[in-house]
Copies of this chain bind each other. A is one copy, B any other.
Amino acid sequence: MEARPLATPEEAWRIASSLRYRHIEGTVVAVVQDVETKEVLMVGHMDPIAVVLTLTTGLAHYYSTTRKRIWLKGETSGHYQIVKEFRSDCDGDAVVIKVVQIGAACHTGSRSCFESKYSLIKALKLSLRHG
């Protein structure tokens, strides 16, 4: 599957300029959803350059708040994210992107960063216990 630009460079700069980079290290929160299943795969951060690169290449780029640099998701792993949709929220400090995930989204090798069996708690549990 081939990545396609979501915006021209001019449109991308306009969109990047409209966001509010009020999170750590001057970023917006980027929520990444599988375009088919709607599963949340990971949460990353984008600075203005990462937003522009994402929109103009169609491949997800982030700002690493630990390594203090832009990274192309998949640059070492090959686990690219092909971006099909980009939305910002009502106050411009968060975006949701819908992607086709190549391989694993998580550095642990899991498809999603949220799929550890220890991480899941369902309301069902207590209702069963009390039911």
Contacts and interface: CB of A to CB of B under 8 A. Distances in A.
Interface of A: 4-8, 15, 22-24, 29, 31, 33, 37-40, 42-43, 55, 58, 83-91, 94, 96, 106-108, 110, 113-116, 119-127
Contacts of A127: 4
Contacts of A116: 87-88, 90
Contact of A31 (B43, B85, B121): B43
Contacts of A91: 113
Nearest to A3: B123
Please name the 10 residue pairs, one residue from A and one from B, whose CB atoms are nearest each other, closest first.
A38-B38, A43-B94, A89-B113, A87-B114, A90-B113, A88-B119, A87-B119, A86-B121, A4-B123, A40-B96
Contacts of A38: 33, 37-39
B126 A5 contact: yes
A5 B86 CA distance: 34
A30 B22 CA distance: 16
Contacts of A123: 4-6, 58, 83-85
Nearest to A118: B88
A65 to B, nearest CB: 8
